[in-house]
């Protein structure tokens, strides 16, 4: 018989003395792992793996004693907690006090930075979407751009929270990022100047007489209220024959805000439900009868930058056959994170549930597939030397100059092919409805 003995040093013993009482209090009974018939240790009723706890204490002690630089206990323990969460999924994270405050600021809609929503995919830091009218969007950053370096530091060893912390900062300071775009071999370099990002989540306008445009750039607590006011204002100007709801490059946000937006267009039925391990993570949200735009023809624009709460809205409207979803496949983030404050001013961002569309579809890693696929592009008018029009005839009468706002709108529609096609579809739907009537 071979006897194996593990020597545990004094620092490790002290750590074990700290960890074991916590483990005993948090574990179900019976706690201790017992050998099975094969001689291997197994947990009984999910008892704690005491050998792994002892190994953890031993690793802690060896780092303390032998690492090339001295590391304090607080740093090691926080790194361990970060590791616990970062290995679960790309969206769970341990938040120190600064990171926790930063996340609260972004939810409230004001923070200092360049204006991008980022995430991790296959270990790479990726742009989910640039926020409208920010340094990132003006510089031309796109959804799914891979950020390979920040201020010259490679991102392959950064956590998501570390990258966010570095990119945020005081206004009027510069930030250099290197991005790798799909189909390109060499990274692109961008130098951006940070601003105070005050993101207005709702914008609206009339594209043409009777055709409204509602842009939601992210879901904040006041987004449903602002969207309702926008719809009422457009309706006061003139009755709406159709509406385009633009959710492109919308990274998501507050779940309840997404429910509120869907409720503006639905007067009954399920909007979204969530499922998790705990009973309080299982929720269901349905539409109310107070609906300002229940019968306006609707086209919803999505793309690869439409994520999370934006996908909830698109999925609900698609399943309820309330509107036509147009664009390209959405991002595919179908998980729910809870922000859990800790007693020391820090917090956890923990994935606790998955959400599902009314028909039971999971969005996670799949996304929303549009009813009509229209890729991003610019509308170009082909020229032909064989065509002769009135304007080519000598002595033709000159047309009246179009108002400046109409010229600007025509230019905008030519620059945004998806928006132009959405407007054309709304007009076609109205023609069909009139013929049916």
The active-site residue out of 308, 330, 335, 420 is 308
**308 is known as an active-site residue:** yes
**333 is known as an active-site residue:** yes
The active-site residue out of 92, 319, 330, 416 is 319
Beta strands in 237-360 (DSSP E): 242-246, 270-276, 284-286, 298-302, 324-327, 335-341, 347-356
Residue among 243, 267, 271 nearest 257 (CA):
271
Q: Is the peptide bond before 30 cis (omega within 30 degrees of 0)?
A: yes
Q: Which residues contact 221 (CB under 8 A, 6 or more apart)?
A: 107, 108, 254, 256, 257
Q: HSE-up of 53 (CA within 13 Å, CB side)?
A: 18
According to DSSP H, which parts of 282-393 are helical? 309-319
**319 is known as an active-site residue:** yes
User: Nearest 10 degrees: CA dihedral of 368, 219, 243, 291?
Assistant: 100
Do the strands 124-130 and 34-35 form a parallel or antiparallel pair, or are they unpaired?
Answer: unpaired
Distance CA 278, CA 288 (A): 27
The active-site residue out of 333, 335, 416, 420 is 333
Are 320 and 269 contacting, i.e. CB atoms less than 8 angstroms apart?
Answer: yes
Looking at the annotation, which residues are catalytic? 308, 319, 333
């Amino acid at each position: 018989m071979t006897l194996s003995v593990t020597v545990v040093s004094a620092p490790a013993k002290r750590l074990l003395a700290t960890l074991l009482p916590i483990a005993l209090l948090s574990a179900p009974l019976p706690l201790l792992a017992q050998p099975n018939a094969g001689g291997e240790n197994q947990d009984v009723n999910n008892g704690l793996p005491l050998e792994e706890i002892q190994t953890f204490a031993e690793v802690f002690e060896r780092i303390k004693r032998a690492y090339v630089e001295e590391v304090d206990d607080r740093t090691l323990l926080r790194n361990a907690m970060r590791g616990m969460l970062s290995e679960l999924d790309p969206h769970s994270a341990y938040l120190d006090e600064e990171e926790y405050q930063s996340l609260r600021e972004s939810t409230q809609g004001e923070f200092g930075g360049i204006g991008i929503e980022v995430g991790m995919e296959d270990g790479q830091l990726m742009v989910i979407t640039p926020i409208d009218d920010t340094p990132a969007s003006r510089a031309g950053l796109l959804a799914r751009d891979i950020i390979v370096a920040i201020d010259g530091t490679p991102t392959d060893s950064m956590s998501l929270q570390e990258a966010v912390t570095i990119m945020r900062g005081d206004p009027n300071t510069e930030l250099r990022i290197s991005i790798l775009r799909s189909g390109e071999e060499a990274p692109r370099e961008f130098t951006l100047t940070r601003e105070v990002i005050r993101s207005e989540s709702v914008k609206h306008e009339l594209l043409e007489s009777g055709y409204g445009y509602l842009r939601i750039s992210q879901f904040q607590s006041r987004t449903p209220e602002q969207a309702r006011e926008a719809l009422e204002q457009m309706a006061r100007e003139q009755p709406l024959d159709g509406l385009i709801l633009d959710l492109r490059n919308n990274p998501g946000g507050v779940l309840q805000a997404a429910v509120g937006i869907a409720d503006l267009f639905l007067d009954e039925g399920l909007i979204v439900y969530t499922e998790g391990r705990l009973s309080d993570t299982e929720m269901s949200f349905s539409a109310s009868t107070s609906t300002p735009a229940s019968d306006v023809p609707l086209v919803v624009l999505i793309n690869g930058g439409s994520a999370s709460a934006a996908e909830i809205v698109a999925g609900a409207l698609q399943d309820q056959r309330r509107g036509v979803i147009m664009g390209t496949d959405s991002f595919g983030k179908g998980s729910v994170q809870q922000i859990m404050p800790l007693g020391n001013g820090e917090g956890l961002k923990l994935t606790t549930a998955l959400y599902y569309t009314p028909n039971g579809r999971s969005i996670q890693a799949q996304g929303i597939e549009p009813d009509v696929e229209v890729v991003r592009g610019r509308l170009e008018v082909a020229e032909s030397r064989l065509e002769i029009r009135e304007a080519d005839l000598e002595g033709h009468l000159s047309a009246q100059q179009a108002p400046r706002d109409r010229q600007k709108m025509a230019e905008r529609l030519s620059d945004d092919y998806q928006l132009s096609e959405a407007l054309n579809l709304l007009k076609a739907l109205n023609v069909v409805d009139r013929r049916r009537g």
